[in-house]
Chain A
Amino acid sequence: HLQLQESGPGLVKPSETLSLTCTVSGGSMTTSSYYWGWIRQPPGGGLEWIGNINYIASTYYNSSLRNRVTMSIDTSMNQFSLKLSSVSAADTAVYYCARLQLWSRLFDDWGQGTLVTVSS
């Protein structure tokens, strides 16, 4: 059974860069059948797609965040990462990593999420 686990600082200062890593276990990342994604959820709010990356580092980002988002992948470590620059309080959210199944376009497995607070 696939498991995803987010990790990274829970507190980031305004204007700095948020960095998170998702570690995948119980399955291979080196398959063309999936992309790997980040989704966030502000406190009390809804889900917002951030972006996806595949095993050869092909990426797609939400246009509203594109100028600030960078995703990377390290299949040897079974990890993929998110960097979000120039953060503000509006970036405070629970950040989820998830696997996107290409044939259904369904996020079929999710991490438990990690809360990142932007505050000085």
Chain B
Amino acid sequence: DFVMTQSPLSLSVTLGQPASISCRSSQSLVYSDGNTYLNWFQQRPGQSPRPLIYKVSKRDSGVPDRFSGSGSATDFTLKISRVEAEDVGVYYCMEGTHWPPSITFGQGTRLEI
């Protein structure tokens, strides 16, 4: 079975310090068209998920530049250069390479200050 594994599952960071979240897939996420469909979402407490990053490293509209994505094939990273109070929440990676027919989310990483 295909698996997306995030680490750590929980992260405590001091305001203004950097944070890094890893997402690993059990298979390469490079699609036949050359794209890698690895996305990141932020879910603040009590809110719907918000898209942050698509295709590994492209920030969605309105996302602050302190958020960055990197990686390739099976190993990916979401970095926050300087954590702010509004960054508290759970972060999910999601792969769309195997869609159709399926989409898989990572289990989530909880970020606290």
Contacts and interface: CB of A to CB of B under 8 A. Distances in A.
Interface SS majority for chain A: strand
Contact of A47 (B50, B99, B108): B108
Classify chain B's interface size: 20 to 34
A62 interface: yes
Contacts of A49: 102-105
Interface in B21-80: 37, 39, 41, 48-51, 54-55, 58, 60
A96 B102 contact: no
A96 B51 contact: no
B1 to A, nearest CB: 9
Interface stretch (A18-26, A74-82, A109-117): A109-117
A55 B41 CA distance: 25
A46 B49 CA distance: 11
Classify chain A's interface size: 20 to 34
Contacts of B58: 104
Contacts of B101: 60-61, 63
A49 B51 CA distance: 15
Contacts of B60: 106, 108
B107 interface: yes
A104 B37 contact: yes
B39 A105 contact: yes
A47 B51 contact: no
Nearest to A62: B102
Given A60-B99, A104-B37, A113 B104 contact: no
A105 B96 contact: yes
